[in-house]
Amino acid sequence: MKFTRISLIFSLFVSLLACGPSQKDLNNDKRAEVMAVHDEVMPKLGQLKSFEKRASQKAEELAMDSTNMDRVKQLELLAVELDQAYEDMFVWMRQYEIEDEGKTPEEVKRYLEEQMVLVTKVNKSIKDVLAKSDSLLVD
C-alpha cells in the first residue's frame, strides 16, 4: 500500500511538471518582455533628435555671450548624450537576433536574458537623457 501511494504521488508530481510551460514557451514570453522594453522607448527616438537639435541651437545662441560658457558646455554635452542614446538604440537593434535556429532552448534563454540587460540599459539611458533635457531645455 505504501509503495502504491508513493508511486501515485510521484506520478502526480511528474504529470504536474509535464503540464507546466516548456522552456520554449518561457522563451517566447521573455522575448515579448524584451520587445516591450524596446517598444516603450522606440517612439521617443524622434524626440531625442528634436531635443538634440534644440540643445545645439541653444548652445550656439548662448555661445555669443562669453558669460554663458558653463551653460553652453551643458547644452553641448546634452546634445552629445541625446545623440548617443539615439545611436545606442540602433546598435542594440542591429545586433538583436530574432531567429533561434540552431540554438538549444537553454541557449536562447541565456541570450534573451543578456538582451534584456542590454535593452533595459538603452531604455534607461533614453529616459534619463529625456528627463535631463526637460530640465536643461527650459526656455
Question: Could you tell me the three cell numbers for 104?
Answer: 538549444
pLDDT at 6 over 80: no
Each residue of 12-61: pLDDT tens digit? 556 555 666 788 889 999 999 999 999 999 999 999 999 999 999 999 99
131 closest CA partner among 54, 74, 72, 51: 51
Question: Could you tell me the three cell numbers for 49?
Answer: 533628435
